[in-house]
Amino acid sequence: MSFDRLQDKIDEMRNPSVCGLDPSLGHIPPDIVRKHIVARGETLASAADAYFDFNAGLIDALYDIVPAVKLQSAFYEALGPCGAVALKNTADYASGRGMYVILDAKRGDIGSTAEAYSEGYLGTFKIGATEFEPYNFDAMTVNAYLGSDGLVPFMETAKRRDKAIFVLAKTSNPSSGELQDIDIGGGRRVYTAVGDMACALSAGDTGRRGFERAGIVAGATYPGELAALRERLPHTFFLVPGYGAQGGGAQDAAAAFARGGAGAIVNSSRAIICAWKNTGAGGADYAEAARAEALRMREALRRAVY
């Protein structure tokens, strides 16, 4: 099962962290951006080339110590169709290096539309007698606002292809409480209802390591809610944003882990990919700086979790 592969990789590296590959021109060393502008001009294509170049360097620097990457789809979509190419190439490169690759797309739609999203990112597309994997992510994030018939098609594709999903429950941002924290009676809140929905959808679909196919997203910036969700959902895999630049620490994130320190993965994006901005080398050392920061995060999580 998809989360078995992820948990095995985490255990092997003793590192429950995922690096967010969220590129923007401001995050990439200027020399890399310039090189691609020289090659293809000031175009969206050269920006996309710079994104992939930057990402590949990060993946090379991290793949033996970090089990997973998470690609935030928005930053790629912001480049138009060229960005979709960079998204796919980055995902394929990371998979080729053995990493578990998560698409952070927060998609949420219904029926045949949800099916199209899930087949595109986790599944296949068939034309004539030929079947393609348009993208080939291991897991993706989804939004449950449309209710369970927005999630079922993702679950079906995930099951068929041995992939997984993470349903947004309690997000890490300041205004996440506006809808998610609404008290719905019986000691439950909207985010609890979403967590329960993920759990119900997974019924009977549990891997060797004890986790269900539908995970949830729950932010390190709300450790109380994180702990409450963990207590309620002992067999759910947690994807935890909000660590580092957003203010959550290792102790906060530790609340997401199940007994024995399994069942969660903590994301950091900017702190790792922009670590080069703190070394004074102008970006020439971006890969080394990212690795050093990833090792610091690993140590902090090891102390807090294991």
Residue 60 is encoded by which pair of tokens? 């090379």
CA-based nearest residue to 237, from 157, 164, 144: 164
Q: In the complex with a copy of itself, which residue's Cβ is closer, 169 or 254?
A: 169
Residues 6+ away with beta carbon under 8 Å from 185: none
Q: In the complex with a copy of itself, which residue's Cβ is closer, 145 or 306?
A: 145
Q: In the complex with a copy of itself, which residue's Cβ is closer, 30 or 64?
A: 30
Q: In the complex with a copy of itself, which residue's Cβ is closer, 121 or 238?
A: 121
CA separation for the pair 34, 216 (Å, rounded): 39
CA separation for the pair 159, 38 (Å, rounded): 45
CB of 105 to a copy of itself, least distance (A): 9
Candidate list 106, 159, 163, 170, residue with the active-site label: 106
Q: Which long-range contacts (CB under 8 A, 24 or more apart) does 4-9 make?
A: 4/207, 4/208, 4/209, 4/211, 5/100, 5/138, 6/67, 6/68, 6/100, 6/138, 6/139, 6/164, 6/237, 6/265, 7/209, 7/211, 7/237, 7/262, 7/263, 8/209, 9/67, 9/68, 9/98, 9/100
CB of 42 to a copy of itself, least distance (A): 4
Residue 54 is encoded by which pair of tokens? 């930057």
Centroid of chain to Cα 131: 26
106 is catalytic: yes
CB of 228 to a copy of itself, least distance (A): 18
CB of 127 to a copy of itself, least distance (A): 5
CB of 222 to a copy of itself, least distance (A): 13
Q: In the complex with a copy of itself, which residue's Cβ is closer, 103 or 228?
A: 103
Alpha-carbon torsion 71, 195, 111, 182, what sign? negative
Residues designated catalytic: 106
